[in-house]
Amino acid sequence: MSTSAGLPRRILKETQRLMAEPVAGISAIPAEDNARYFHVEITGPKDSPFEGGIFKLELFLPEEYPMAAPKVRFVTKIYHPNIDKLGRICLDILKDKWSPALQIRTVLLSIQALLSAPNPDDPLANDVAEQWKVNELAAINKVLTVLDMI
Amino acid sequence: MPHGNSIDSDPSSFRKYKQPGQLISTLEEESPNLPPSTHAPVKYGELVILGYNGCLPSGNRGRRRSRFILYKKEVPNGVKPDKRYEISAPRSAQVTKDNEKHTIAYTLSRHQTFIEEYTTDFKTDMFQIGRSTEPIIDFIVMDTVPGAKCQEDTVISESTISRFACRILVDRDPPYNARIYAAGFNSTSNIFLGEKACKWRTEQGMDGLTTNGVLLMRPKGGFQATSTPGVWREVSVCGNVYWLRETRSSPQRGKLVESENNILEDGTLIDLCGASLLWRSASGLRHTPTQELLDQLRKDINRARPQCPIGFNTLVLPRNRNVGRLLSENSKQPYAYLKCGHVHGFHEWNSKDQEGKEERMCPMCREVGPYEPLIMGNEASFCVDSEPPTHAFCPCGHMCSDKTAKYWSQVPLPHGTHAFQAACPFCATPLCGDQGM
């Protein structure tokens, strides 16, 4: 990696391990010009409304990482009560529940789990959450529409 | 979630660690306490002061050391009671002036003194212990300062240890029974029990207790993994065993315990009020790990290359505390959250919120607790078995085997005038936590 000079050991090791032992359904590849910026793809979890979809995300490790959480955002448009139109994610471990013992891997696993189990009781996108609570089937149909699958 | 370093968290005063961490520095040089003769010396046993990790902060030299080995003397120097009589005060001064003759003088009144004369006993060797630096003391013991890391830390203004605290007489023939007695003979070979001392008449003559007393505790089942602490007793000047006094230096003696004697058994603790000593018999020591083995166990842990779950750097469990290297992010020093037992390298996450507090939140489990460097417990004589150092004491972080940690966490050590508390044997810091006595 040409841009790895000056990177903390922690980031180097994490990246190496992500490449060597990728998580099923998740790929995270550092950008060629910035070792702190990752192109992420998460496949929609099986038996979830998002099954069959491929979701692109961007993940950035700030200067303070791992003392501060990585910044993660959906690039692919998604209809989800905990993800807003700009792709921002409502997930406690990305905010006040961050701990340096968490890693890129664990963050992406948590996001994958969020796709399996949307939490309309702690919404970021209020309209989506409302729809989810009132008529889950309709909401799921909307998911598929956004995914261009129906 | 993949956890780097996890632990069994049992709610107690010590914790188990799966991954602690290379040799940073070697033990301080010490001059060994050598046997009097070089050909096949008989080792009776050793006395180890609780609260030192293999060495005094100033090093082990001569009669000032953390561990004292009792070897058979070239010439027997034991004494046994001989004549007993009562004399008037002026004459008693004359009797006790004779340096050759060992005497115990019980002052009955301003005019009357009871004298017990002692004579040479060729069947025993005598070892004297106390704070005095006079040549008559074989093993000089100063007050233990819990958690003292350097010589300056050990200076205290007032000592509670007697200058001539106690004496041990060991049979020169097998099984080399060692008997302990309160009070030691001074440089003029006398023991004085003043007018106000706790003393009384016996069938043979008189007996008494020293001001702060000498307490004994014999563990049940000897000194091994299955042992449990026994009951603390007080030993008299003549070697009889009593219940404890109501308070440490009360003028009223405890009840005589006729079924018990003053013979030291492997693991017996001796409390001199200010320092506690562990007696290890020569036969008991054969089952104790060597210093080399302890270091091997420590290296085995390091060979597994335990890793900090945050910095992903390899941690190395050091043999000794190395203050200069502790507070650095690049340090290999393992730290543990003592409440949950998670081991990390040094880091400052969440330390701002907690500034000024000694407690921090563990990044692995969010449990808030003390955060301390882990240090190897090096004094082999404190170990009840030869298992790997998987546990550490709270709050000091000294590491030892599971059973050793459990044993010491259950041993109540005399503290103050009538209280007891468990303490880390390697630094004497009182233990905290649910099981911390």
Q: What is the pTM of this model?
A: 0.84
> Domain end: B242, B265, B285, which one?
B285
CB of A14 less than 8 A from some CB of B: yes
Q: To 10 degrees, what angle do helices A9-20 and A104-116 make?
A: 50
CA B269, CA B50: separation in Å to the nearest integer? Answer: 9
Chain A's closest residue to B330, CA to CA, is A9
Give me the domain span that covers residue A82: 9-148
**B415 falls within a domain:** yes
pLDDT in tens, B45-92: 999 999 999 999 888 999 999 999 999 999 999 999 999 999 987 777
Domains identified in chain A, total number: 1
Question: Which structure tokens are listed for B244?
Answer: 């404890």
Give me the domain span that covers residue B166: 43-285
Cis check for the bond before B11: say yes or no (omega within 30 of 0): no
B272 and B305 belong to one structural domain: no
> CB neighbours of A125 closer than 8 A, spacing ≥ 6?
A80, A81, A82, A83, A84, A85
When CB atoms are compared, the residue of A10, A99, A109 closest to B311 is: A10
**B64 falls within a domain:** yes
Instruction: State the DSSP H helix or E strand holding residue B336, giving kind and residue range, or none if neither.
Output: strand B335-337
**B362 falls within a domain:** yes
Chain A's closest residue to B364, CA to CA, is A101
Instruction: Identify all chain B residues contacting A100, using CB atoms and an 8 Å cutoff.
Output: 310, 347, 349, 363
pLDDT in tens, B294-303: 999 999 999 9
Instruction: State the DSSP H helix or E strand holding residue A11, giving kind and residue range, or none if neither.
Output: helix A9-20
The distance in angstroms from the start CA to the end CA of chain A is: 41
When CB atoms are compared, the residue of A9, A14, A101 closest to B363 is: A101
B130 and B258 belong to one structural domain: yes
**B435 falls within a domain:** no
DSSP code of residue B219 = P
User: What is the rounded (10 degree) CA torsion for A64, A66, A67, A72?
Assistant: 80
pLDDT recorded at residue B29: 43
**A3 falls within a domain:** no
**B13 falls within a domain:** no
The CATH number of whichever domain residue A97 belongs to comes to 3.10.110.10
pLDDT in tens, A97-149: 999 999 999 999 999 999 999 888 887 778 888 888 887 777 777 787 777 66
Higher-scoring residue by pLDDT: B366, B49: B49
Q: Residues B234, B242: contact at Cβ < 8 Å? A: yes
Domains identified in chain B, total number: 2
DSSP code of residue B135 = T
Q: Which of A7, A10, A64 to mutate to test the interface with B (most CBs of B within 10 A)?
A: A10
pLDDT-based confidence at residue A4 (cuts at 50, 70, 90): low
CA A135, CA A65: separation in Å to the nearest integer? Answer: 40
pLDDT recorded at residue B37: 66
- A90 catalytic per annotation: yes
pLDDT recorded at residue A32: 94
Q: Of the candidates A80, A73, A72, A58, which has an alpha carbon nearest to the alpha carbon of residue A144?
A: A80
B268 and B399 belong to one structural domain: no
CA B343, CA B302: separation in Å to the nearest integer? Answer: 13
Q: Please indicate whether, in this complex, the C-beta atoms of B349 and A67 are within 8 angstroms of each other.
A: yes
B277 and B374 belong to one structural domain: no
CA B230, CA A10: separation in Å to the nearest integer? Answer: 51
Smallest CA–CA separation between B397 and chain A, in Å?
22
Q: Residues B349, B15: contact at Cβ < 8 Å? A: no
pLDDT in tens, B171-230: 999 999 999 999 999 999 999 999 899 999 999 899 999 999 999 999 999 999 999 999
Residue B145: half-sphere exposure toward Cβ, Cα within 13 Å: 14
Amino acid in the structure at residue A133: K
Q: Please indicate whether, in this complex, the C-beta atoms of B364 and A99 are within 8 angstroms of each other.
A: yes
DSSP code of residue B211 = S
pLDDT recorded at residue B3: 36
Smallest CA–CA separation between B364 and chain A, in Å?
6
